[in-house]
Structure 1
Amino acid sequence: MPETTLPRPRRLLLLSVSAGAGHGRAADALHAAAVAEHGAEALHLDVMDYVPAAFRKLYTDFYLRLVEKFPSLWAQLYRITDETPPDAAMARLRRALERLNTRSLRQAIADFAPDAIVCTHFLPAEVLAREQLRVRLHCPVHVQVTDFDLHALWVVPGLAGYFAASDEVAARMRARGLDPSRIHVCGIPIMPAFAQTLDRATCAAEAGLDPQRPILLLMGGGAGVGALDDAARSLLRIEADFQLVALAGRNEDMLARLRTLAAEHPRRLFPQGFTRTIERLMRCADLAIGKPGGLTTSECLAMGLPLLVFAPIPGQEERNCDYLLENGAGLKAVDAVALEYRVRALLADAPRLQRLRDSAVRLGRPHAARDVLRQVFANG
């Protein structure tokens, strides 16, 4: 009998850029869903691993320093680039520099020979759109916007699909001239763990917390950015019975400072470093406090966890914050005084906190990665 040849698994390439953690986390979520739910052969590449060191330093280190040290300057840059026409001289120069510095990436793509590509950052989407125009790339390319806003740089005409976090982002895509038939509202991809049904008491016990007492989750992101110890110190002045879990991420210095503070507040402050099971802490928390990155916002909503936004980055994080406020799933604290005031008020108003939680549940899209891939694989 002739041998039966099994069909080759579909190859999905995911391209992110490590300018902040969110783009990579969205690609990781799509990778996990592609393998688990579609049996695909998936590969996630960080574009910054395929560019010269000088370009990488400019694109990632400079961006992170700018948003942390000079947020007002970043706000202006965000607005200017959003308003710059795509055919302007500076926009053409930017795209030329990107093409010049991503030649190694194009070879890596050719070596993998994907059946479909999803970009979780606009840089590879722009580069590959030109490759398709020059008939040097034949597989469909999609782009996943990773915030609850649409900046002009994400608007890359001619791609196979555009994935929006919300109906408003989709409307902005249409208003900017993208093909409505290729726009899909699926949410922002998050890891499958956020779709699990988890028990609050079990998750609290794992972290050494009392599920009968309110639990606040103070988040500084994977890098532990921001003055978390100052925020924790301010919150601990509140005369109420609650437990504060402070996540320092990979910031060992911040973790040490939080542990010193925790010694002064036994059974109230619980410092933690980087964790890969943040969903379990979110499940037992009553309120999250932190920056509204697109992925963090989506993870909180998927867990039905209200977010008290503190010191958002101008631009995309402010727009994410607006989305939460407009839909009743979060609050904003403009400074430490407002942070302390709002937490005190919420702890004293359980019905209001429950309304915030109900809104978060309504907005959450825990299966966004699955829904995105259904569209990707349905279109080839």
Structure 2
Amino acid sequence: MLVVGAPFGDGHMRAAEAVGRLLRQRDPALEVAVEDICAHLFRPLRLDRVLRTAYRWSTSRFRGHPHRRLYQVAGRWPGVVCRLSDLALGAAAARWLGRMAPDVVITTHPVAGYLCARRRPAPDVPVIPLVTDSGPVNRIWFHGRYDRLLLTDPGTREHAVRLHGPASHVHVVGAPVLSALQAGRQQADSRDRLGLGQRFTVLLTAGGAGLGHGVLAAARQLADSDLDVQLILNAGDNKALLARFHDLAAHRPWLVRGVSDDFEVLLAACDLVIGKAGWFTLNEAAFSRRPTLIVDVVPGQEEWNAGAAEALGVARRVQPSEVVSWVRRYADTPDLLRTDFALDESAEFVAGWPLRLAHALDDLVTIAGPTTSRTGDAA
């Protein structure tokens, strides 16, 4: 089994890693490789790092308009984008796939999916995209000959059937968040592990790539307020943002984190999340029963993500200038988090992704039924 992601938004690789972990846990005899395709296509350039840098630039400069334009181009002319990608990288992808010799390929990025399907080492090797976005996702996800489609959002199904079809090949499995495969974490224990006190805690996260001016603006608003709350500032792998968070946290008992492999601990420790509209971050928060105030949206797909999360009742879009009043509301009366947001149904849906994925792949690989547990309760 080969699970293939790409280095753009962190959700692509997080999804790939969660699927790989599930496959390894449920069938130890199964050989599973989880790979960033870009790390293997043009090694002298370190294409994975170059594309990661380009993605961060396009989403953070000029109010994200370069990324919006790229998103629009991919949606309007998916065939052109895919063929150009294959022209540039197809031969290298074919050599890599030949060396890997997979029996089944699951992909979590649309261009990676197209390259794997176009350059599959044998005609009978199934290539299955897992669509890591929500709502009416970009048409580039469906430009390719795939054996079936896996969706993370029920709201995407009608759109996918219309563009890909037939309906029997489209399966809604939910967002494969890694925390659903791990033991539940209690809030008090998580705070102790992080060296935090047992009081109202807010997690500000800019995602794994550290994107979003709104998150930094919200942190500054909270720094200038008189609120007596604990803050966790998560900058991902953005070193510039990490330095700004450290400046804000100077002389304050705040926790600042960069690249971290224990994001589920940060979620379990907090009461409220403030961040951007990354689909997997929203689903991880929902699984942990932590509501999100969305203060930043990368133009393009995240606009749909934010709308879907609001419709589910797990998040609310607010301006950075409004976060102090919202945090004060919930810090003063934490029970309002349960009345203002509807988290239980979404948490149960996310928790069921391993079983739904097993059902969607049952003719290709046997995945034993997993046992999932709820994460820590809110204080």
TM range (shorter): 0.7 to 0.9
Q: Provide the secondary structure at the position in 2 that maps to 1:205.
A: helix
Structure-2 residue corresponding to 1:75: 68
Q: Does 1:17 pair with 2:3?
A: no
- 355, 360, 363: which one aligns with 2:346: 363
Q: Which runs of 5+ in 2 are unaligned?
A: 366-379
Given that 1:26 and 1:188 are in contact with CA atoms closer than 8 Å, whether structure 2 keeps it comes out as yes
- TM-score normalised to the size of structure 2? 0.85
2:68 alignment partner AA: A
Q: Provide the secondary structure at the position in 1 that maps to 2:161.
A: helix
Structure-2 residue corresponding to 1:340: 324
Q: Provide the secondary structure at the position in 2 that maps to 1:275.
A: coil
Structure-2 residue corresponding to 1:325: 310
Residues in 2 aligned to 1:260 and 1:131: alpha-carbon distance in whole angstroms: 48
Q: Does 1:33 pair with 2:22?
A: yes
Instruction: Write out per-residue CA displacement over residues 317-361 of structure 1, whole angstroms, 9 at most, x where no aligned residue.
Output: 111111111121111123x2123333233334534311355x233
**Which range moved further: 363-372 or 201-210?**
363-372
Residues in 1 aligned to 2:23 and 2:324: alpha-carbon distance in whole angstroms: 42
**Which range moved further: 190-199 or 21-30?**
190-199
Q: Does 1:123 pair with 2:111?
A: yes
2:71 alignment partner AA: Y
Structure-1 residue corresponding to 2:334: 350
Alignment root-mean-square deviation, CA: 2.6
Q: Provide the secondary structure at the position in 2 that maps to 1:160.
A: coil
Structure-2 residue corresponding to 1:9: none
Please report how far the alpha carbon of residue 374 of structure 1 lies from its aligned counterpart in structure 2 after TM superposition: 4.2
Q: How does 1:1-380 map to 2 (within 5 A)?
A: 12-39=1-28, 40-52=30-42, 53=45, 59-70=51-62, 71-84=64-77, 91-92=79-80, 94-131=82-119, 136-149=122-135, 150-156=137-143, 158-192=145-179, 195-211=182-198, 213-227=199-213, 230-266=217-253, 269-334=254-319, 336-356=320-340, 359-364=342-347, 365-369=350-354, 371-379=356-364
Q: Provide the secondary structure at the position in 2 that maps to 1:30.
A: helix
Residues in 1 aligned to 2:86 and 2:329: alpha-carbon distance in whole angstroms: 49
Instruction: Write out per-residue CA displacement over residues 243-272 of structure 1, whole angstroms, 9 at most, x where no aligned residue.
Output: 111113334454444344334334xx2222
Q: Are the structure 2 counterparts of residues 95 and 220 from structure 1 closer, same or farther at C-alpha, using a change threshold of 3 Å?
A: same
Given that 2:142 and 2:163 are in contact with CA atoms closer than 8 Å, whether structure 1 keeps it comes out as yes
Residues in 2 aligned to 1:218 and 1:374: alpha-carbon distance in whole angstroms: 36
Please report how far the alpha carbon of residue 137 of structure 1 lies from its aligned counterpart in structure 2 after TM superposition: 3.0
Given that 2:90 and 2:119 are in contact with CA atoms closer than 8 Å, whether structure 1 keeps it comes out as no
Given that 1:189 and 1:367 are in contact with CA atoms closer than 8 Å, whether structure 2 keeps it comes out as no
Residues in 2 aligned to 1:20 and 1:153: alpha-carbon distance in whole angstroms: 16
The percentage of counterpart residues that share the same residue type is 24
Structure-1 residue corresponding to 2:368: none
Please report how far the alpha carbon of residue 142 of structure 1 lies from its aligned counterpart in structure 2 after TM superposition: 0.6
Residues in 2 aligned to 1:257 and 1:82: alpha-carbon distance in whole angstroms: 35
**Which range moved further: 362-371 or 138-147?**
362-371
1:353 alignment partner AA: L
Q: Are the structure 2 counterparts of residues 226 and 92 from structure 1 closer, same or farther at C-alpha, using a change threshold of 3 Å?
A: closer
Length, aligned pairs only: 357
**Which range moved further: 140-149 or 93-102?**
93-102
Residues in 2 aligned to 1:49 and 1:102: alpha-carbon distance in whole angstroms: 14
Residues in 1 aligned to 2:314 and 2:21: alpha-carbon distance in whole angstroms: 28
Residues in 2 aligned to 1:27 and 1:190: alpha-carbon distance in whole angstroms: 10
**Which range moved further: 57-66 or 23-32?**
57-66
Residues in 1 aligned to 2:192 and 2:228: alpha-carbon distance in whole angstroms: 18
Q: Which runs of 5+ in 1 are unaligned?
A: 1-11
Given that 1:194 and 1:303 are in contact with CA atoms closer than 8 Å, whether structure 2 keeps it comes out as no
Residues in 2 aligned to 1:312 and 1:197: alpha-carbon distance in whole angstroms: 29
Residues in 2 aligned to 1:246 and 1:205: alpha-carbon distance in whole angstroms: 17
Given that 1:306 and 1:356 are in contact with CA atoms closer than 8 Å, whether structure 2 keeps it comes out as no
Please report how far the alpha carbon of residue 218 of structure 1 lies from its aligned counterpart in structure 2 after TM superposition: 0.6
Q: Provide the secondary structure at the position in 1 that maps to 2:33.
A: strand
- TM-score normalised to the size of structure 1? 0.84
Please report how far the alpha carbon of residue 60 of structure 1 lies from its aligned counterpart in structure 2 after TM superposition: 4.2
Instruction: Write out per-residue CA displacement over residues 153-194 of structure 1, whole angstroms, 9 at most, x where no aligned residue.
Output: 001354222111121111111122421101111112121466
Instruction: Write out per-residue CA displacement over residues 118-145 of structure 1, whole angstroms, 9 at most, x where no aligned residue.
Output: 010111322233346xx94321111001
1:236 alignment partner AA: A
